[in-house]
Amino acid sequence: MAETPADADALVKKEPEAVPAKDPIVSTSTSGILLVSALLLMAVLAWALYDEAYGQRPWKDMQRTFVARETSYLKRLKRNGNQTEKEVKESPEYQQLASDAQTAKEAAEPERKEIEEKVRVIDQQLAAITDDFQNKRGKITVANYKIETASASAKDKLRREVEQERQEQIKIKMPADDGSGRTEEQKFTYPELETKYLQLKDDKAQLLAHQADVLKNYNDLAKKRDEYLKDHITGLTDDQITKLIERNNHFDYTLRQINVTDANIVDRCETCHLGIREPLTITPATLKLRGKKPDEDARAFVSHPSKELLQIHDPEKFGCSSCHGGNGRATTDVVKAHGLNPFWLHPLHERDNMEAGCQQCHSNDRVLDFAPNLTLGKDLFQQRGCVGCHRFEGYDRETDGLSNARQTIKQLEEQMTTNDRESRQAVAASATVTDDAEAQKLLARAEKLKVDNSQIAARIEQLNTQSRYLMQDQKKVGPNLKDVRLKLRKEWIPVWLQNPQAFRPGTKMPTFWYLNEGHELSKKYGDKADQERKAIAAYLWQSAFEGQVSKQDAGNASHGEELFKTKGCMACHSIGDADNQVGGTFAANLQRVGEKANFEYIVRWIYNPRERWSPYCPKEKRDLTREDYEKNNKPYVFDTGMHSKCPNDGAELQVQNMTVMPNFRLSQEDARDLATYLFSLSSGHTSYPDASYMDDPNLKNQGFTLIKQYGCAGCHEIKGFEEEQRIGKELTAEGSTPIERLDFALMTQPAEQGLDPLTLKKTDSSGKKVSEWYNHKGFFEHKLTDPSIYDRGKEKDWKDHLRMPQPYLTPEWKTALTTFLLGSVGPEGANVPASMFYNPKDRGRDIQDGWWIIKKYNCMGCHTVQVGQKSVLSTLPQFQTQDGKEQLPPALTTEGARVDPNWLLRFLTDPSLSGGGSSSGDLTAPGHTGMSGANGSSSPQPSAAERMLAGESGASGNQPRSRANANNADFQPQPGANHNGVRLYLKPRMPTFNFSPNELRTLVRFFLAVSSQQEPYIKEQLEPLTDQERNLAREIFGSRSAPCLKCHLTGNPEHDKSASAPNFLMASERLKPGWTFRWLLDPQRVIPGTAMPSDLFKKDGERWVFNSTEQFKSAENYHGDEAQLLTRYILQLTPAEQARLASSSPSAPSGRTQTGDNQNTTAASSTHHARRNHEKQSRFKHQASARAPSPASESQRARDPAIIAMVRHLSLNLAP
Amino acid sequence: MNSVKSTRSLIALLIMLAMLLFVSGCSKSDDDEVADDNSGGGDSAPATVKYTPSGNEGQINGTVTLNGTAPEAKKISMDADPACAANNPNPIVEDVVAKDGKLQNVFVYVKDGKTADGKSIAGLSFDTPAEAKVLDQKGCHYVPHVLGIQIKQKLTVTNSDPTTHNVHPGPAKNPEWNQSQGPGAPPIEKTFDRSEVLIPVKCNQHPWMKSYIGVLSHPFYAVTGADGKFEIKGLPPGTYTIVAWQGKYPEKSQSVTVGVKEVKTQDFAFDASGATASIEGGSLKMMPAIEFPMPMKH
Q: Would you say A57 and A331 are in contact if contact means Cβ atoms under 8 Å apart? A: yes
Helices (H), A986-1134: 997-1010, 1027-1038, 1044-1047, 1053-1056, 1067-1070, 1073-1081, 1083-1086, 1122-1131
List of chain B residues whose C-beta atoms are within 8 Å of the C-beta of residue A375: 292-293
- Is A42 in Cβ contact with B19 (below 8 Å)? yes
Most confident of A92-101, A237-246, B165-174: B165-174
- Is B164 in Cβ contact with A1040 (below 8 Å)? yes
Would you place residue A1149 in the very low, low, confident or very high pLDDT band (cuts 50, 70, 90)? very low
- Is A294 in Cβ contact with B182 (below 8 Å)? no
Amino acid at site A1156: G
Helices (H), A830-982: 842-856, 882-885, 895-898, 901-909, 944-952
Burial of A685 by CB count in 10 Å (0-12 exposed, 13-18 middle, 19+ buried)?
Answer: exposed
DSSP state of A413: H
Where are the strands (E) in A243-313, listed by range? 258-260, 265-267
The residue with greater pLDDT, A400 or B37, is A400
User: Looking at residue A1182, what is its pLDDT?
Assistant: 42
Nearest partner of A69 among A234, A301, A267, judged by Cα: A301
pLDDT for residue A569 is more than 90: yes
Touching check for B6 and chain A: CB below 8 Å? Answer: no
Which residue on chain B is closest to A1083 by alpha carbon?
A: B178
Q: Would you say A571 and A586 are in contact if contact means Cβ atoms under 8 Å apart? A: yes
Residues linked to residue B109 through DSSP beta bridges, in sequence order: B221, B243
Would you place residue B9 in the very low, low, confident or very high pLDDT band (cuts 50, 70, 90)? low
Read off the pLDDT of each residue in A360-366 and give the average, rounded to a whole number.
92
Q: pLDDT digit string (tens) for A229-278? A: 777 776 777 788 889 999 999 999 999 999 998 888 999 999 999 999 98
Neighbouring CB atoms inside 10 A of B266's CB total 19
User: Which among B287, B292, B294, B296 is the top mutation candidate for probing chain A, defined by the most A β-carbons within 10 Å of its own β-carbon?
Assistant: B287
The three state secondary structure string of A135-194 is HHHHHHHHHHHHHHHCCHHHHHHHHHHHHHHHHCCEEEEEECCCCCCCEEEEEECHHHHH
In angstroms, the Cα distances linking A123 to A116, A183, A196, A209 are 10, 14, 13, 16
Residue A564: half-sphere exposure toward Cβ, Cα within 13 Å:
27
Neighbouring CB atoms inside 10 A of A639's CB total 25
* A285 CA: distance to closest CA in chain B (Å): 5
- Is B298 in Cβ contact with A843 (below 8 Å)? yes
Would you place residue A1172 in the very low, low, confident or very high pLDDT band (cuts 50, 70, 90)? very low
Query: Which pairs from A299-307 meet CB under 8 Å and 24+ separation?
Result: A300/A62, A300/A272, A300/A273, A301/A66, A301/A69, A301/A70, A301/A273, A301/A274, A301/A275, A302/A273, A302/A275, A302/A276, A303/A275, A303/A276, A303/A277, A303/A278, A304/A276, A304/A277, A306/A370
Q: Would you say A209 and A115 are in contact if contact means Cβ atoms under 8 Å apart? A: no
Q: Write the CB contacts of A1116 (distance below 8 Å, at least 6 apart in sequence).
A: none
- Is B162 in Cβ contact with A1040 (below 8 Å)? yes
Q: Write the CB contacts of A1078 (distance below 8 Å, at least 6 apart in sequence).
A: A1085, A1086
Q: Would you say A258 and A319 are in contact if contact means Cβ atoms under 8 Å apart? A: yes
Read off the pLDDT of each residue in A592-621 and give the average, rounded to a whole number.
92
List of chain B residues whose C-beta atoms are within 8 Å of the C-beta of residue A858: 289
- Is A1043 in Cβ contact with B164 (below 8 Å)? yes
* B189 CA: distance to closest CA in chain A (Å): 13
Read off the pLDDT of each residue in A398-403 and give the average, rounded to a whole number.
87
pLDDT for residue A1167 is more than 80: no
CA-CA distance, A1211 to A1051, in Å (whole number)?
13
Touching check for B130 and chain A: CB below 8 Å? Answer: no
User: Looking at residue A1115, what is its pLDDT?
Assistant: 84
User: Looking at residue A418, what is its pLDDT?
Assistant: 95
The three state secondary structure string of A91-116 is CHHHHHHHHHHHHHHHHHHHHHHHHH
Residue A49: half-sphere exposure toward Cβ, Cα within 13 Å:
10
List of chain A residues whose C-beta atoms are within 8 Å of the C-beta of residue B290: 376, 379-380, 383, 585-586, 860
- Is B11 in Cβ contact with A64 (below 8 Å)? no
- Is B282 in Cβ contact with A877 (below 8 Å)? yes
Would you place residue A1197 in the very low, low, confident or very high pLDDT band (cuts 50, 70, 90)? very low
pLDDT for residue A1155 is more than 80: no
Nearest partner of A663 among A911, A986, A321, A332, judged by Cα: A911
User: Looking at residue A1199, what is its pLDDT?
Assistant: 40
Which residue on chain B is closest to A373 by alpha carbon?
A: B292
CA-CA distance, A359 to A859, in Å (whole number)?
24
Which residue on chain A is closest to B163 by alpha carbon?
A: A1040
- Is A861 in Cβ contact with B295 (below 8 Å)? no
Amino acid at site A1113: K
The residue with greater pLDDT, A926 or A75, is A75
B196-202, strands of its sheet edge to edge: B146-150, B210-216, B196-202, B165-169, B179-181
Closest Cβ opposite residue A1149 in set B4, B79, B294: B79
- Is A40 in Cβ contact with B295 (below 8 Å)? no
Nearest partner of A1049 among A976, A1176, A954, judged by Cα: A954
Would you place residue A766 in the very low, low, confident or very high pLDDT band (cuts 50, 70, 90)? confident
Q: pLDDT digit string (tens) for B185-203? A: 899 999 998 999 889 999 9
Q: pLDDT digit string (tens) for B201-253? A: 999 888 888 999 999 999 999 999 999 999 999 999 999 999 999 888 888 99
Residue A633 phi, psi dihedral angles, 5° rounding: 55, 40
* B76 CA: distance to closest CA in chain A (Å): 14
List of chain B residues whose C-beta atoms are within 8 Å of the C-beta of residue A885: 170
3-state secondary structure of A287: coil
User: Looking at residue A1188, what is its pLDDT?
Assistant: 38
Q: pLDDT digit string (tens) for A116-170? A: 888 988 888 888 888 888 888 898 899 888 888 888 888 888 888 888 888 888 8
Which residue on chain A is closest to B167 by alpha carbon?
A: A1093
Touching check for B181 and chain A: CB below 8 Å? Answer: yes
Read off the pLDDT of each residue in A294-318 and give the average, rounded to a whole number.
91
Compute the mean pLDDT over every residue in chain A, rounded to the nearest whole number.
Answer: 84
Read off the pLDDT of each residue in A313-320 and give the average, rounded to a whole number.
93
Compute the mean pLDDT over every residue in chain B, rounded to the nearest whole number.
Answer: 78
Closest Cβ opposite residue B80 in set A76, A1084, A1149: A1149
pLDDT for residue A47 is more than 80: yes
3-state secondary structure of B138: strand
pLDDT for residue B21 is more than 70: no
Read off the pLDDT of each residue in A442-453 and give the average, rounded to a whole number.
93
Q: pLDDT digit string (tens) for A899-909? A: 999 999 999 99
- Is A375 in Cβ contact with B42 (below 8 Å)? no
List of chain A residues whose C-beta atoms are within 8 Å of the C-beta of residue B180: 1093-1096, 1107
- Is B283 in Cβ contact with A867 (below 8 Å)? no
Q: Which of A86-90, A730-734, B243-247, B275-279 has the least mean pLDDT?
A: B275-279
Q: Which of A302-311, A1088-1097, B38-47 has the least mean pLDDT?
A: B38-47
User: Looking at residue A1146, what is its pLDDT?
Assistant: 54
Q: How many beta-carbon pairs below 8 A join chains A and B? A: 239
List of chain A residues whose C-beta atoms are within 8 Å of the C-beta of residue B15: 39-40, 42-43
Which residue on chain B is closest to A572 by alpha carbon?
A: B289
Q: pLDDT digit string (tens) for A221-233? A: 888 888 887 777 7
In angstroms, the Cα distances linking A127 to A175, A197, A419 are 10, 10, 82
Residue A1198 phi, psi dihedral angles, 5° rounding: -60, -25
SS3 content of chain B, % helix, strand, coil (to 5): 15, 35, 50
- Is A40 in Cβ contact with B289 (below 8 Å)? no
Residue A415 phi, psi dihedral angles, 5° rounding: -60, -40
User: Looking at residue A811, what is its pLDDT?
Assistant: 93
* Residues 61-120, chain B, touching A (beta carbon < 8 A): 79-83
Would you place residue B71 in the very low, low, confident or very high pLDDT band (cuts 50, 70, 90)? confident
* Residues 132-151, chain B, touching A (beta carbon < 8 A): none
User: Looking at residue A6, what is its pLDDT?
Assistant: 54
User: Looking at residue A915, what is its pLDDT?
Assistant: 67
Q: pLDDT digit string (tens) for A371-383? A: 999 999 999 999 9
User: Looking at residue A17, what is its pLDDT?
Assistant: 62
Q: What percent of chain A has pLDDT over 90?
A: 47
User: Looking at residue A785, what is its pLDDT?
Assistant: 92
3-state secondary structure of A1021: coil
pLDDT for residue A14 is more than 70: no
The residue with greater pLDDT, A702 or B117, is A702
Touching check for B11 and chain A: CB below 8 Å? Answer: yes
Largest CA distance in chain B: 125
The residue with greater pLDDT, A1197 or B140, is B140
List of chain B residues whose C-beta atoms are within 8 Å of the C-beta of residue A73: 40-41
* A483 CA: distance to closest CA in chain B (Å): 27
Closest Cβ opposite residue A376 in set B12, B200, B292: B292
One-character DSSP codes across B216-267: ESSS-EEE--TTSEEEEEEEPSEEEEEEEE-SSSPPEEEEEEE-TT-EEE--
Q: Would you say B159 and B180 are in contact if contact means Cβ atoms under 8 Å apart? A: no
Q: Would you say A618 and A626 are in contact if contact means Cβ atoms under 8 Å apart? A: no
Read off the pLDDT of each residue in A577-586 and give the average, rounded to a whole number.
89
Angle value at C-alpha B49, between B48 and B52, nearest 5 degrees? 145
SS3 content of chain A, % helix, strand, coil (to 5): 55, 5, 40
